[in-house]
Structure 1
Amino acid sequence: MSDMPAAPTRNLLGWILALLLAILCAASFYSLDLKWVEFTRPDSLRTTFELLGGFAPPELGMPFLRRTANAALETLAMSAVGTLLAVAAGLLLAMPASGRLGGLGIPRAIVRTILNVLRSIPELVWAYIMLIAAGLGPFAGTLALAAHTAGVLGRLFADALENAPLHAEHSLRTNGAPALAAFLYATLPQTLPQMLSYTLYRWENNIRAAAVLGVVGAGGLGQMLKYHLSLFQMQPAATVILAMLALVALVDAASFATRRWLTS
């Protein structure tokens, strides 16, 4: 008679955590005042359809389309520059955060705390801070995107560097290569595709965030959307919303194609 495999041991801690999560979800639904009946009332549905009907047809006049295209380019530029600044800052912070090159003389815990603070503050809060410091316009929005994204990318880059195999780097160091050269020629090439993937993903997110930051006066499509919605100009607002959707779809497609090219 062949030996049967031993039955898997039950993880009591896992069951307890799952039970606590289920209790938390149930308590969340119980504590929230979710008025589903109010949402489906006939007058609520009628008012909603009247609001949506006000968006049709979108404003398609050539002068307005040119303004919308310029705002879309401004939003795209904000996201691109903000992401590039975040990549530079995140890579510099990732070095000591990962403990590579001796931490560059900076304590690892301090840099990790800085990264936590940067990414814990939402883009909108950063935008309000930068608007006070730099005034209205796309510059404040770009800095807000860069500050938050630097915290996110810095943590992701640090984890990628920390988990990278060290055999090639140790081999170069054993043969007399300096620490920086061994890192640049051995460790960095291993993690570069992963870092590029993280960067493209965050650029996609920053496109959406840049459109939202305009609502607080940081320029771009968001600022146009706030202006027209505040005046209840629904048809121009519909054109701006469609421009946002087209811009996000374009960047998503470009990012997907770039990631496939990198991994092929």
Structure 2
Amino acid sequence: MSASRLDATTRLRDPAARQRATAVLVAVVLLWPLLQLSEFQPARLLDAGNLQVMGSFLAGFLPPAVNAEFLALLMRATVETLAMATAGTALAWVLSLPFAFAMTQSLSVSRLGPARGMAAGRAVRGAVRGVLTLLRAIPEVVWALVLVRALGLGPAAGVLALAVTYAGMLGKVYAEILESGDTRSARALLEAGSGRRAALLYGLLPGAAQELVSYTVYRWECAVRASVVMGFVGAGGLGQLMDQSMKMLNGGEASVILATFLVLVLLADALSAGLRRVLA
């Protein structure tokens, strides 16, 4: 083989191929025991008996229920789910803002130079991080179970459950988004004597607005899904209607509820894309 061909082969060879192959091998070695512990056996889905059972179950979803009485209940449950998800996300957003503001290191005046408040600032950020971890560590369905017993059946328990859990998620991610962008403008404003709020509004938000809005809409979409799940524990909405339909073995109603849920997710995607175009 000529020297030119050797040079061409060397240029085409991936210099990181060995590292990637090693990483894949290590991942497989670590993942395999976890798959065994979780009893992950996808081949069982292709078993003739299991395919027959799944086929019979899915066949029960047809034809869809389109009677006027059910559609009226569906409309009411859909509005209730949207109200629960929107109110819960809005309340979580309000609760998360001071947490995110306190956690963002780029807005810390004490980090600009030697100051007596540096240790206190680290302690405050550590305490806020601990509170956010506690809020998001408990799933919203658990909060819903507790709050349903305190407030009774209905969407109020779902709203508070979403607000508590999602406040922890939003506060953490908001702070990370603000930190991951270009923080030089905020630092320059603080060094010039500007306040922390002005540094946030004019230094950090312009570059992070799209990502913040996109994540907020995504959390709202997750809240819609969570509202459906919480309906199974008595928090109202589409979940409670789905629970009733499944208990009555009414697959036609369940299929319409699932289709409604799909439409809500598509609307959330369209809303996110529209907001990103506006902020672009």
1:152 aligns with 2:169: yes
**1: CA distance between counterparts of 2:248 and 2:184?**
63
Return the TM-score normalized by structure 1. Answer: 0.84
Instruction: Give the structure 2 partner of residue 27 of structure 1.
Output: 33
Instruction: Give the structure 2 partner of residue 68 of structure 1.
Output: 74
1:246 aligns with 2:263: yes
Contact 2:144–2:161 (8 Å) recurs in 1: yes
Shift of 1:140: 1.0
Contact 2:81–2:228 (8 Å) recurs in 1: yes
In structure 1, give the amino acid aligned to 2:244.
Y
Q: Compared with structure 1, are the counterparts of its residues 42 and 166 closer, same or farther at alpha carbon in structure 2 (3 Å cutoff)?
A: closer
1:183 aligns with 2:189: no
Q: Which runs of 5+ in 2 are unaligned?
A: 1-9, 111-119
Deviations 1:162-216 (A, max 9, x none): 3344443344445543343343333333333321121112112212111121111
Return the TM-score normalized by structure 2. Answer: 0.79
**1: CA distance between counterparts of 2:198 and 2:37?**
57
Contact 1:204–1:255 (8 Å) recurs in 2: no
Contact 1:58–1:236 (8 Å) recurs in 2: yes
**2: CA distance between counterparts of 1:215 and 1:19?**
42
Q: Which of 49, 56, 75 in structure 2 is aligned with 1:50?
A: 56
Instruction: Give the structure 2 partner of residue 203 of structure 1.
Output: 220
Deviations 1:102-146 (A, max 9, x none): 599661111111112222222222222322332221111111112
Identity across aligned pairs (percent)?
36
**2: CA distance between counterparts of 1:44 and 1:11?**
41
RMSD in angstroms over aligned alpha carbons?
Answer: 3.0
Shift of 1:220: 0.5
**2: CA distance between counterparts of 1:114 and 1:235?**
44
Local SS of the residue matching 2:34:
helix
Alignment of 1:119-130 (within 5 A): 119-130=136-147
In structure 1, give the amino acid aligned to 2:93.
V
Shift of 1:48: 2.0
Alignment of 1:97-108 (within 5 A): 97-99=103-105, 100-101=107-108, 107-108=124-125
Local SS of the residue matching 1:107:
helix
Q: Compared with structure 1, are the counterparts of its residues 239 and 164 closer, same or farther at alpha carbon in structure 2 (3 Å cutoff)?
A: closer
Instruction: Give the structure 1 partner of residue 95 of structure 2.
Output: 89
Shift of 1:228: 1.2
Q: Compared with structure 1, are the counterparts of its residues 16 and 175 closer, same or farther at alpha carbon in structure 2 (3 Å cutoff)?
A: same
Q: Which moved more, 1:72-81 or 1:188-197?
A: 188-197
Q: Compared with structure 1, are the counterparts of its residues 18 and 36 closer, same or farther at alpha carbon in structure 2 (3 Å cutoff)?
A: closer
Shift of 1:75: 0.8
1:78 aligns with 2:84: yes
Shift of 1:9: 9.2
Q: Compared with structure 1, are the counterparts of its residues 113 and 20 closer, same or farther at alpha carbon in structure 2 (3 Å cutoff)?
A: farther
In structure 1, give the amino acid aligned to 2:205.
L
Q: Which runs of 5+ in 1 are unaligned?
A: none
1:137 aligns with 2:142: no
Q: Compared with structure 1, are the counterparts of its residues 54 and 176 closer, same or farther at alpha carbon in structure 2 (3 Å cutoff)?
A: closer
Shift of 1:28: 2.4
Contact 2:218–2:268 (8 Å) recurs in 1: no
